[in-house]
C-alpha cells in the first residue's frame, strides 16, 4: 500500500508538520488581532511608554508561556503576552501618529507583512534547512541586546541606529529559521512557534516604524 505521507528528518509525518504549521499561523493571526485591540485601548487611555522597563513583565510572561506551552493554560499566557505587547505598542503608535501622521504606520505594516510573507514563503517553497544559522543568531541577539543596553545609557552617535539594523536583520532571519524548524520537524509546539514569530514581527514593525517616522530611537 502506498504511503499517504512522508517522514520528516525528526520522524514527524508531513500531516503532523502541516498541522503544526496551520495551528501556528492561525494562532499568530489571532494574537496579532488581539494585540491590535489592546494597542487601540492603550492609545485611548494614554498608556505610558515604559522604555526598557517593559522588559520585566515581558520576561515574566515569556517564562509563563514556556512553562505552560504543553497545556491549555499556554494559550491563556500567549494571549496575555501578546496583549501586553499590544499595550506597549500604543504609546509608540501615538508618538509617531502625532509626529508624522498615519502614513508611516501603514507603510510599516505593509513592510512587515511583505517581509514575513516573503521570507516564510521562500522557506516553504524551497524547504531550505536554516538550522545552520542557529549559532549565529544566538550570538547576534546577545550582541544586539548588550548594544541596546549600551545605547540606552551611553550617548554614542549612531549606536541606536546600528542596534535597530541588527535587530531588523536578526528578526528577519528568525522568521526563516522558525519556519524551517517547523517544516523539518524540529518544532512541534505551535505555541512556542507562534511566540517566536510574533516577537519577530513586533520587532520588525517597530523598527520599520522608527525608520519611516524619522527616528532611530
**In this predicted model, what pLDDT tens digit does every residue of 121-132 receive, in sequence order?**
999 999 999 999
* Predicted model pTM: 0.90
Q: Identify the pLDDT of residue 215.
A: 59
Domain edges within the chain: 14-212
The least confident of 15-24, 28-37, 146-155 is: 146-155
Q: Identify the pLDDT of residue 51.
A: 82
Query: pLDDT band at 213, cuts 50/70/90?
Result: confident
Enumerate the H helices of the chain as residue ranges: 14-45, 55-68, 73-100, 103-126, 134-153, 159-183, 190-212
Q: Is residue 214 helix, strand or coil?
A: coil
The alpha-carbon radius of gyration of the chain (Å, integer) is 18
Query: pLDDT band at 11, cuts 50/70/90?
Result: low
Residues with Cβ < 8 Å from 134, sequence gap 6 or more?
177
Residues with Cβ < 8 Å from 179, sequence gap 6 or more?
119, 120, 123, 124, 130, 197
Q: Identify the pLDDT of residue 159.
A: 85
Query: pLDDT band at 164, cuts 50/70/90?
Result: very high
Amino acid at each position: 500500500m502506498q504511503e499517504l505521507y512522508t517522514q520528516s528528518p525528526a520522524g514527524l509525518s508531513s500531516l503532523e508538520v502541516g498541522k503544526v504549521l496551520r495551528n501556528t499561523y492561525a494562532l499568530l493571526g489571532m494574537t496579532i488581532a488581539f494585540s491590535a485591540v489592546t494597542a487601540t485601548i492603550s492609545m485611548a487611555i494614554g498608556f505610558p511608554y515604559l522604555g526598557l522597563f517593559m522588559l520585566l513583565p515581558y520576561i515574566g510572561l515569556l517564562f509563563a508561556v514556556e512553562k505552560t506551552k504543553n497545556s491549555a493554560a499556554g494559550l491563556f499566557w500567549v494571549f496575555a503576552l501578546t496583549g501586553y505587547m499590544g499595550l506597549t505598542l500604543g504609546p509608540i503608535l501615538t508618538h509617531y501618529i502625532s509626529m508624522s501622521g498615519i502614513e508611516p504606520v501603514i507603510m510599516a505594516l505593509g513592510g512587515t507583512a511583505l517581509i514575513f510573507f516573503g521570507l516564510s514563503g521562500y522557506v516553504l517553497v524551497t524547504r531550505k534547512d536554516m538550522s545552520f544559522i542557529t549559532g549565529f543568531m544566538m550570538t547576534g541577539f546577545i550582541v544586539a541586546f548588550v548594544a541596546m543596553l549600551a545605547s540606552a545609557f551611553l550617548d554614542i552617535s549612531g549606536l541606536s541606529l546600528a542596534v535597530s539594523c541588527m535587530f531588523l536583520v536578526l528578526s528577519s532571519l528568525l522568521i526563516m529559521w522558525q519556519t524551517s524548524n517547523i517544516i523539518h520537524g524540529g518544532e512541534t509546539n505551535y505555541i512556542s512557534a507562534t511566540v517566536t514569530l510574533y516577537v519577530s514581527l513586533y520587532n520588525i514593525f517597530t523598527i520599520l516604524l522608527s525608520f519611516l517616522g524619522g527616528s532611530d530611537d
